[in-house]
Structure 1
């Protein structure tokens, strides 16, 4: 039997995040850092030129912007009703019931968790190259990657506002540099003048692998859900989260489309050929051609901070999913603890850091390439998992508002029509990704080609575990997707698509 002191110790364990610590501007910085503009421009857009959407890459980013903007309509409506660190996990639970909610939660949690080592591989690669080129130090990429992850844990141990300040400085510099280089290319007319024809949809028919083009486009946005993940720590989340989501989707879409168009103009008809040979040096060469050499040097350093900022943002995202599951007692309760002083989910941060280090070391021991394999194969899984969960969230929006009712101007568009379009659009993207995975990874790489199966098995495992809890441990089952907000949810939530009452206070 527990003693009084044991009960007091248990009761004193902190499980609350630091409410009101994050302001609107910090949310925008966090989600934009997760999208990593310079990382996308320096690495993924050139790969799409050569092996994805080809000359239609800029158009593909425009299309991805519109698809995600439509998805954001329903997502924002859920954010106005529900504030929770689990975001996709909580939204799906409230709309589609606990079993599907837990399946979605596990899928997105593991997808975000794997993004950290994937991006850290790029951080290690570019850091190792920078140390060799500028200082003559031969440091293995994996040492740099592991050191980066350890630094992420140390910083995230403290208040998340420190994270926002760090990301803000790095992000501001990299956005300015890329914008300057892209503008210089376009203003000077590139290799053969402006090329508005690249926005003709017929260009998709000539693309090397349009599914891969959309994969890289959606991968470039992975993490914009950050706006909702930090809802519990945000001042006025019901207003801040929806506004930050729209701003992030639109500004990133314009930025990526602009940078991709500049990349095409820079080399003109030779774009695909040059991208195939230059790959990660593509935009660095453009900087040398159309600006000054010191811009190239600045990009060499900023690409490192860009990779770090991106991995850092996802480290915090994944940690909050582990925290949310721990707080709900779906995973060990220790994951749901927060620091007594800083209110950071320090246990979850430590677990996420350990997972990232183990994955990095496993790839290093296997002799993997940090960019093409660690940084190329894992993103396929991450993107497939997140797009699949976004599809479920769109369905959840429809079912949730079917239950609680629709009111206000444009309610049918916001909570029925737009989410339905989002379901169809994301289903098409998933099909294209599945069809073109062998093209990206190689037809003989079985472990990569089975990625869609992994995603389904993880989601199914979550559903099965939820059903097990419902039968064997009903109290824990009732906590799945619980909302930790000040406001009670509407009484209409007592019915769901599965005929069960969803989680509430």
Structure 2
């Protein structure tokens, strides 16, 4: 950190950033305000707080949660499902709070890779990035496949049209890639509109369910935790519910393109968790009440998505509003995940962790090479997932897989918070904010994941953790192979085009 005159304001031992790195940590928008020519990079100040907030909200895909998560939860946690998602929201907030503390001082498209590399070292940063690569790139493919399967099912059941599932999947892939290439303003603008619409529709349907409930009525008994079939089922639902909130960190990937990121990104991260927490608890409760809490098994076994059954029941011919909300959620989530994954790859390439050409930008200041690679990944991984776990198991299987993979990243992020506020921001250290909260979030995540595996879930969900373990072993092998190169890499802040914000 430097004073306005440029002199060092703290003793050297309190700031681990080398002098050569500190000189290049000014953000692009800081250079513009100083009257200097902007450096080549992502487009600064492209979006504000609403755009960053909705980037996280739409990545968490609210309507998808209502349509696909609640049936899975009902099969594991029963009528206690609303309590499960409430507790998962609390754990997610603790984890998000740690990320917010990091983004108060560092903004980077590389998000956790940049944070962990900067604070714990490049080797740990590489492992965090490797685990992260099992989420956003795969999530985009999963959502596009989900769009194809949902469109296929609805057109066949409602109209008798047998449209192959892969056709709408490929159509969405092309549309998402085009929006991502065109620019973050347009892509985020679309996600904001889609996100608001889906939230309004699903909240309305849930309120209808609470006001006109099925057999069992509307009750707050779920607050006691009663109704869960087994303790293992409760924890398995808990783990899957954490996946429901996964995506709150997506706003951090737009830190270099957000106005006043050190204020707006923490607000976007935490605000998105609060918004979705209220939404998920309400819609889970409303959907189960509307169906009838005395027929949970019928809810789980329904051939048609329960959300469509309820929409038919309450809205008649206007049921298609629920369909539009669900498809909007999938499209919005795919766009948001593409934005996040492309920028994550861009940030890693810029730091040297991925091949340099992936850091190439288009004339719209978007990471065009990363978008192209991500699109290829979407096609290959999307088809492979559907071929291995089945068309209708992709969402639930990847949900568990993502949670186990991201647990590694979130724990590293919690340790990085401690490191940051005991070194480079030592004057701000607070035991509750920077020690207790990160520890509680990580401990709760590890405990819940452990309990969910005793006993092991049924196939294909039992394979979610082994896939993550094999992936991480591959990352360790790759780390050993390129260890010398990582040791030689300078910090990202020291590289041309770096946009980490300096500590103030």
TM-score band, normalised by shorter chain: 0.7 to 0.9
What does residue range 337-352 of structure 1 map to in structure 2 within 5 Å? 337-340=360-363, 342-352=364-374
Q: Which residue of 2 aligns with 1:464?
A: 480
Asked if 1:484 is matched to 2:498, the reply is yes
Report the secondary structure of 1:230's partner residue.
helix
Contact 2:401–2:465 (CA under 8 A) maintained in structure 1: no
1:26 to 40, 51, 60: 51
| Deviation string, structure 1 residues 132-167 (Cα, Å, up to 9, x no partner) | 456654321122212211211111111111112211
Alpha-carbon contact 1:83-1:485 (below 8 Å) kept:
yes
Between stretches 73-82 and 294-303, larger displacement belongs to 294-303
- Work out which of the residue numbers 57, 61, 75 in structure 1 matches 2:85: 61
Unaligned runs of 5+ in 2: 1-38
Give the structure-1-normalised TM-score.
0.85
Quote the Cα distance in structure 2 between the aligned partners of 1:411 and 1:80.
Answer: 14
Please point out which of 294, 297, 306 is paired with 2:320: 297
Q: Which residue of 1 aligns with 2:401?
A: 381
CA contact (8 A) 2:96 2:248 kept: no
On the 8 A contact 1:54/1:208 being kept in 2, the answer is no
Instruction: Give yes or no for the alignment of 1:312 onto 2:360.
Output: no
Match of 1:16 in 2: 41
RMSD: 2.5
- Structure 1 counterpart SS, 2:179: helix
- Contact 2:236–2:453 (CA<8 Å) still a contact in 1? no
| Structure 1 spans left out of the alignment, 5+ residues | 1-13, 491-505
Structure 1 residues 103-182: aligned runs within 5 Å: 103-132=127-156, 137-182=161-206
CA contact (8 A) 1:62 1:253 kept: yes
Question: Residue 391 of structure 2 corresponds to which residue in structure 1?
Answer: 370
Match for residue 398 of structure 1 among 418, 437, 457: 418
TM-score (norm 2): 0.86
Q: Please show how residues 243-254 of structure 1 align to structure 2 within 5 Å.
A: 243-254=267-278
**1:198 deviation in Å?**
0.8
| 8 Å contact from structure 2 (residues 132, 405) kept in 1 | yes
- Residue in 2 aligned with 1:39? 64
C-alpha contact (below 8 Å) 1:35/1:222 kept by paired residues:
yes
Q: Size of the alignment, in residue pairs?
A: 465
Matching of residue 335 in structure 1 with residue 365 in structure 2: no
CA distance in 1, matches of 2:460, 2:177: 31
Stretch deviating more after TM superposition (386-395 or 35-44): 386-395
Q: 1:466 offset after TM fit, Å?
A: 5.6
Q: 1:322 aligns with which of 341, 345, 349?
A: 345
Return the alpha-carbon distance in structure 2 between the equivalents of residues 142 and 481 of structure 1: 44
Q: Secondary structure at the match of 1:103?
A: helix
Partner residue of 1:102 out of 112, 126, 129: 126
Q: 1:171 to 1:103 in 2, by over 3 A?
A: same
CA deviation after TM superposition for structure 1 residue 368, in Å: 5.5
Shift of 1:120: 1.5
Label 1:477 to 1:211 Cα distance change in 2 as closer, same or farther (>3 A).
Answer: farther
- Contact 1:441/1:449 (<8 A) preserved: no
Cα distance change on mapping 1:246 and 1:91 into 2, 3 Å? same
Check conservation: 1:227, 1:244, Cα contact below 8 A.
Answer: yes
Change beyond 3 A, Cα 1:310–1:131 = same
Counterparts of residues 488-499 of structure 1 (less than 5 Å):
488-489=502-503
The within-5 A match list for 1:169-318 is 169-204=193-228, 206=230, 209-278=233-302, 281-289=305-313, 291-318=314-341
Displacement after TM superposition at 1:177 (Å): 0.9
Which one is further off, 455-464 or 421-430?
Answer: 455-464
Q: Deviations over 1:428-464 (max 9, x none)?
A: 1332344465325266xxx545224124324524643
